[in-house]
Structure 1
Amino acid sequence: MLINVNCIRRTPAALLRKAGLSAAVLSLSLANAFAAPAFDQPDADFRGSLNAAGVVYAGSEAQLAGRGFTPGQEVILLQNGHTLTPQALVADKEGNLSTKIAIPADAAVGVHPVVMQVSKPSTADIFNLKVSPKVELSGQDKFELQSQHLVPGLYQSAYSPKNKVLFVTSAVGRPPVKQSQLVKVNPKTLAVEASVTPAAQKGRDDGQVQAVYGVDVDDKQGNVWVTNTRSSSIAVYSQKDLKLVKQFEDGVVSHPRDVVVDEKTDRAYVSSPGANTIAVFDTKKLTQLDPIELQSKTRNKPGTMSLALDAEKDRLYTVSASTNELIIVDLKNDNAQTVFPVPGARGLAGVSVDSKNDQVYVAAQGSDNLLIINAKDGSVQHDIKIGAGALNVVFDPETSLAYVASRGAGTVTAVNGKGEIVANLDGGSFPNHVSLDGEGNAYLVNKSKGKDDQTADRVTRLHLK
């Protein structure tokens, strides 16, 4: 999700504090906004929500869409004591509504709480409207770029140093997902050398296949590991001919996202945004082992997003979007964990590590920033506004640069360890993931905005001159 606009249930007093409204201001606003009595019928089962479409910038117009309202229900939007809607918005017979609001040119970047004052029947709620930073393109002269269209629905990629091949996953649409491929790509020409469509998912009659999403390579065993997110499963394919080596049972990992392989210890680790565990597999025996149960310093359970392995120091890094924490697992010390809160960030999504300099790079999709964190004490060394929807990040020790894919901004950004943007490059539609080959090349894959999108579903090789 690009905009991080969520309805949050709160008490009336909390609503006032969060939106920066005094009781007097709110009373005055309501008096002007509604002719009905101040205490009309309350909505005891309110399910309405508002979302902003696309990326919202200062000086732009935000397109809002609402759903789940009671037909005929009226909504006034308030922000910091000001009415954003001159007239009440009225939900149609399906409970939907829409409007546009002007964002001031001097609006601060960040998440702004907006009060929904609702009547007929009445309630109040808050939704978060995110104003994203607009980072201009730069540094194109510092990189050599080569791009090639592949197949629809690109998701992630992983490079095999042993076989010098790039493996790319793709999956199209929401369930039932009928179109998915694991693709073998020549890293020099970016041409497709081979591909395979996963088998149909057992127990379903709607044509859904075991669609592939996350990916990593195991050169020691000659395999490719993928996550089957929609079926909560994992699959292993042969690098040589893309034949299926093993399909694990559905449900072995809840909605798996990323997979990383530790060839030194014959282990594969799989993240799950909806679970407080990292799943563990034996890559030699192809069996599932006991998971790593994660800790949090909050009252909520962590949910794992990206994974980064520091094989030399036997550490596994992940970030939790639900608790906004960085979690470091010591794989050699009985999976002991170090948990660092990440201030100034929302919706953590991507993580990578510079082992030599003990720096961790964290991409925050909800707050549009990249944070460089001291791996020893958790302190934030640099906080960089990187672009809307900063989703994934990878650090390249060959160039000492981190590459950040920002879905909303449509960019891939190169950042050094000092927190300086070296280049901000056009990444096409919805940049999704960046991988490395260990030879100074980075590979970006992006997704599509629609069938007529000429910049979609491409793999782009980036090479620092």
Structure 2
Amino acid sequence: MGNSGIRSTRRRATLAVSAALVVGAMVGGVNAPSATARTPAAQTAAASRHAAPTYQVTSAALTSGLYQTAYSQRHDDLWVTAASGTTSQLLRVDPRTLKVEKTITPPVTDAATGAVEAVYGVAVDDRNDTVWTTNTRNNSVAVYSQRTGKHLASFAGVGHAREVLVDEARNRAYATALGDGSVVVYDTRTLKEIRRVHVEGSSPAGLTVDRRTGTVYVTDLSKERLIAVSPKASVEPRFIPVAGGSLLDVSLDRTGRTAYVADLKNGRVSVVDLRTGTTVRTIDTGAGTLSVATDPRTGLLYVGLQTSGTTKVVNPNTGATVAELATGAKTNHVTVTPRGVFAVDKSGPRGSGLPDSIHRITFGR
């Protein structure tokens, strides 16, 4: 079977898995059914059918210094960044087997030491068949070909580049420059920088996009707020206060009207109404709340906790913890995909060279 046949088969399998996830997650989750049976036998059968889902975690060691992941629907691949010491790798991983399919070494930036353009943040652009990375050590953003792994471009002058996202519908990529208070905007077709949104005194960190409106929401690590960046250059940023400490990550609900903000300092997730600009509630999730991702099918949150090395499944409507799953010594990033939920950890001691792990969370019965 040729590559196109393999990809086609994997895409069909992805759809099947996605359908299974919907069924499993809807049971006992935010959208759980509440049907009442009429007889004891029917009640028993209903209880069996509507029992809360169990979660299965499959883990694999990859390499040292794992940082973030991003999923490609086009190729059914998972892209993983890793940086440790003077080394760095961009990995293409099979989301079914967790085996590395391809290892890409970034360009060398220092011939004397062999240091490379280390990759940290990552986003996939399926429309233009590319992968975008932030290269924190040398303050840049890079683009690679998904198909060949070729390094296509690098953009300098992004102070402490932390995260990157792609808005495929508008052919835009956004990167946070934590060190110089800017959000940098790129054209994903021409691979050119087109705009910088600078907010004096800010420390842009995590970001997400409302796919319908194109508005990008950015956590400000130093000012306890979200920065709303319009896709229109003529519109000034809007500021939404979020009481908390170290606001590192943000995710939206399926409507784009509610934001969930990870507060590392206070160990919680803040629920923010974006229309009114108010914090509706806070959910205590635990020390080291570093990453948050929303499952658009169920509304459940997956919260990565670096201190406990776990990922919590949380109902944002009630604040209840649905499950807490072991995902490595120091869970660093969580991604929701049709293949399941993926978490990467930093389990190996710094400088030890020991491999960190990737974990796939799926539903079972």
Paired with 2:298 and 2:255, the residues of 1 have a C-alpha distance of 13
Structure with bigger RCO (C-alpha 8 Å, 6+ apart): 2
Alignment match of 1:147 (pick from 52, 59, 63): 59
Alignment match of 1:284 (pick from 189, 199, 213): 189
Give the equivalent residue in structure 1 for 2:131.
224
Paired with 2:241 and 2:73, the residues of 1 have a C-alpha distance of 35
Paired with 2:171 and 2:356, the residues of 1 have a C-alpha distance of 33
Do residues 305 (structure 1) and 205 (structure 2) align?
Answer: yes
Paired with 1:357 and 1:269, the residues of 2 have a C-alpha distance of 18
Do residues 169 (structure 1) and 81 (structure 2) align?
Answer: yes
Paired with 1:197 and 1:325, the residues of 2 have a C-alpha distance of 36
For the structure 1 residues 307 and 452, does the alpha-carbon distance in structure 2 shift closer, same or farther, using more than 3 Å as the test?
A: closer
Alignment match of 2:255 (pick from 356, 368, 374): 356
For the structure 1 residues 445 and 246, does the alpha-carbon distance in structure 2 shift closer, same or farther, using more than 3 Å as the test?
A: same
How far did residue 392 of structure 1 move?
1.3
Paired with 1:357 and 1:304, the residues of 2 have a C-alpha distance of 20
Give the equivalent residue in structure 2 for 1:271.
176
Is the 8 Å Cα contact of residues 84 and 351 (structure 2) preserved in structure 1? no
Do residues 179 (structure 1) and 78 (structure 2) align?
Answer: no
How far did residue 336 of structure 1 move?
3.5
TM-score by length of 2: 0.81
For the structure 1 residues 180 and 324, does the alpha-carbon distance in structure 2 shift closer, same or farther, using more than 3 Å as the test?
A: same
- For the pair shown, the structure with the greater C-alpha radius of gyration is 1
Please give the per-residue CA displacement for 1:82-139, whole angstroms capped at 9, x wherever unaligned.
xxxxxxxxxxxxxxxxxxxxxxxxxxxxxxxxxxxxxxxxxxxxxxxxxxxxxxxxx9
How far did residue 277 of structure 1 move?
1.4
- Correspondence list, 1:404-443, <5 A: 404-418=303-317, 419-437=319-337, 439=338, 441-443=340-342
For the structure 1 residues 415 and 333, does the alpha-carbon distance in structure 2 shift closer, same or farther, using more than 3 Å as the test?
A: farther
Alignment match of 2:289 (pick from 377, 382, 390): 390
For the structure 1 residues 451 and 362, does the alpha-carbon distance in structure 2 shift closer, same or farther, using more than 3 Å as the test?
A: closer
Please give the per-residue CA displacement for 1:124-165, whole angstroms capped at 9, x wherever unaligned.
xxxxxxxxxxxxxxx996212211111111000000011100
Give the equivalent residue in structure 1 for 2:161.
256
How far did residue 329 of structure 1 move?
2.0
The secondary structure found in structure 1 opposite 2:116 is coil
Please give the per-residue CA displacement for 1:277-300, whole angstroms capped at 9, x wherever unaligned.
101111111111121223xxxxx7
Amino acid corresponding to residue 279 of structure 1 in structure 2: V
Q: What's the Cα RMSD here? A: 2.3
How far did residue 405 of structure 1 move?
1.0
How far did residue 442 of structure 1 move?
1.0
Amino acid corresponding to residue 322 of structure 1 in structure 2: S
Determine what percentage of the aligned residue pairs are the same residue.
Answer: 35
For the structure 1 residues 349 and 147, does the alpha-carbon distance in structure 2 shift closer, same or farther, using more than 3 Å as the test?
A: same
Paired with 1:452 and 1:148, the residues of 2 have a C-alpha distance of 20
Please give the per-residue CA displacement for 1:292-329, whole angstroms capped at 9, x wherever unaligned.
223xxxxx711111110111121101111101111222
Q: How many residues align?
A: 313
Paired with 1:324 and 1:390, the residues of 2 have a C-alpha distance of 15
Paired with 2:195 and 2:351, the residues of 1 have a C-alpha distance of 46
Do residues 213 (structure 1) and 113 (structure 2) align?
Answer: no
Amino acid corresponding to residue 183 of structure 1 in structure 2: L
For the structure 1 residues 267 and 458, does the alpha-carbon distance in structure 2 shift closer, same or farther, using more than 3 Å as the test?
A: same
Paired with 2:346 and 2:167, the residues of 1 have a C-alpha distance of 28
The secondary structure found in structure 1 opposite 2:237 is strand
The secondary structure found in structure 2 opposite 1:201 is strand
Gaps of 5+ in 2: 1-50
Is the 8 Å Cα contact of residues 169 and 181 (structure 1) preserved in structure 2? yes
Is the 8 Å Cα contact of residues 143 and 151 (structure 2) preserved in structure 1? yes
Which structure features the higher share of helix residues?
Answer: 2
Is the 8 Å Cα contact of residues 173 and 185 (structure 2) preserved in structure 1? yes
The secondary structure found in structure 1 opposite 2:170 is coil
For the structure 1 residues 381 and 284, does the alpha-carbon distance in structure 2 shift closer, same or farther, using more than 3 Å as the test?
A: same
Amino acid corresponding to residue 348 of structure 1 in structure 2: L
Paired with 2:53 and 2:363, the residues of 1 have a C-alpha distance of 9
Paired with 1:313 and 1:348, the residues of 2 have a C-alpha distance of 23
Please give the per-residue CA displacement for 1:195-221, whole angstroms capped at 9, x wherever unaligned.
11112105x622211111000011111
The secondary structure found in structure 1 opposite 2:119 is coil
Paired with 2:228 and 2:350, the residues of 1 have a C-alpha distance of 41
For the structure 1 residues 266 and 240, does the alpha-carbon distance in structure 2 shift closer, same or farther, using more than 3 Å as the test?
A: same
Is the 8 Å Cα contact of residues 215 and 228 (structure 2) preserved in structure 1? yes
Give the equivalent residue in structure 1 for 2:68.
156
Paired with 1:363 and 1:166, the residues of 2 have a C-alpha distance of 23
How far did residue 181 of structure 1 move?
0.4
Paired with 2:78 and 2:249, the residues of 1 have a C-alpha distance of 21
Paired with 1:242 and 1:208, the residues of 2 have a C-alpha distance of 19
How far did residue 452 of structure 1 move?
11
